[in-house]
Amino acid sequence: MIASMTGIVKRFRQHTALDHLSLTINSGETLGLLGPNGAGKTTAIRVLTGLTGADAGEVELFGHDMRGNSSAIKRRIGIVPQDLALYETLPARDNLNYFGRLYGITGAKLKNRVGEVLDVLGLSDVAGKAPKKFSGGMKRRLNIGCAIIHKPELLILDEPTVGIDPQSRNHILSFVENMNRQGTTVLYTSHYMEEVERVCSRVLIMDAGRVIANGSVGELTRAALSEETVVLEVRDPAPALSDGMNKVQGVLRCEADGRTLTVTSAAGSQNLPHILEHAAPNVILSVSAHRPTLEDAFLALTGKKLRDGSDNE
């Protein structure tokens, strides 16, 4: 275990942002942290990293209490905040040099590391240009570079792909996956479910300052949702087809509307081959299957959709 938060309470006047929050981050994992706006995600990150003090509870990082020797602990963390933390008029290379020196890296070691980071983030060709001339995606990549210049053991990315083009988003996701394969533990927040499904080995869902669900994507969808659906269009929608479909193992109900059959099964039934086999004599014109997704689970657990935008926590 790299980090833990136990019974954390954080209030802002009359608003309780974190309500006895407890969570752990395991070594070597990519942990997704999800929640609707105002759930407390950004506040949790600020408390975890010592940027904001808690009113109650304990925070431990790398086996040490954050209340003691926090400067040494913070040097082992890299943080990519929602808002860009760059010097817009300094060339990209100088931004990296500046943040590297803040972490105590100097001389040839710093020069080599800056070159590595520019290369891995695809910014070598613009190393001498100022970020104010960059696209949004290039700025986001440089922002990540400033957070990893010191090779952190724990990398925290808070909405790192907001407002960027698909190519830059894919570049960042591939980078996160590669960092994790090389041993870096990652805490990742995003409003894009497909990103979390792609890069995260475990997911925490927060709401109202508490963790309300914890597990892999598969575990969360199975726990939150009990049904999955297959929609068939057939050439001959005979009544016997619908009646027989209800007898297929795992099928909860079959509803007919003209040529369209909507077959609802218990989640995890894995009975699609049997459904298709039963319908085949009637000539299948089209098939679409909907299995529970992380977004479905999120909506079922919180009653809210995950929205773009800042949390304002």
Domain that holds residue 240: 227-291
What distance lies between CA 39 and its chain's CA centroid? 15
**Boundary (domain end) residue, out of 222, 241, 264:** 222
pLDDT for residue 195: 93
Q: How far is CA 24 from CA 157, 191, 196, 308, in A?
A: 16, 21, 18, 26
Judgement on whether residues 138 and 233 belong to the same structural domain of the protein: no
Contacts 24+ apart (CB under 8 A), 104-112: 104/75, 104/150, 105/149, 105/150
pLDDT at 109: 96
> In this predicted structure, what is the pLDDT of residue 140?
92
pTM for the whole structure: 0.80
Whether 78 and 103 map to the same domain: the answer is yes
Question: 217 and 231: one domain?
Answer: no
Residue 269 lies in a domain: yes
Residue 303 included in any domain: no
CATH code of the domain containing 182: 3.40.50.300
Work out the burial of residue 109: count CB atoms within 10 Å of its CB; fewer than 13 is exposed, 13-18 middle, 19 or more buried: exposed
Same domain, 139 and 37: yes
| Residue 282 CB neighbours (<10 A) | 17
Report if residue 236 sits inside a domain: yes
pLDDT of residue 86: 94
Residue listed under structure tokens 């990652």: 186
Residue 16 lies in a domain: yes
pLDDT profile of the chain (313 residues), mean per 10: 96 95 97 92 93 94 82 90 92 97 95 95 94 92 95 94 87 92 95 92 95 91 80 87 90 92 88 91 87 83 62 48
Q: How far apart are CA 233 and CA 287, in angstroms?
A: 7
Q: Which of 145, 203, 231 is nearest to 29 (CA)?
A: 203
Q: Provide the pLDDT for residue 68.
A: 67
Please state the length of the chain.
Answer: 313
Residues 160 and 208 in one domain: yes
The pLDDT assigned to 72 comes to 85
What's the pLDDT score for residue 312? 46
- In three-state secondary structure terms, 60 is strand
At residue 311, the pLDDT reads: 44
Q: Do residues 282 and 218 both lie within one domain? A: no
DSSP 86-129: --TTS-HHHHHHHHHHHTT--HHHHHHHHHHHHHHTT-GGGTTS
33/148 same-domain check: yes
pLDDT of residue 310: 43
* Whether 124 and 252 share a structural domain: no
pLDDT of residue 181: 94
pLDDT confidence of residue 307: 53
45-48 contacts at long range (C-beta below 8 A, 24 or more positions apart): 45/79, 45/156, 45/158, 45/187, 45/189, 47/5, 47/8, 47/10, 47/18, 48/3, 48/5, 48/156, 48/187
- Residues 234, 88: one domain? no
307 in a structural domain: no
Cα-only R_g, the chain:
24
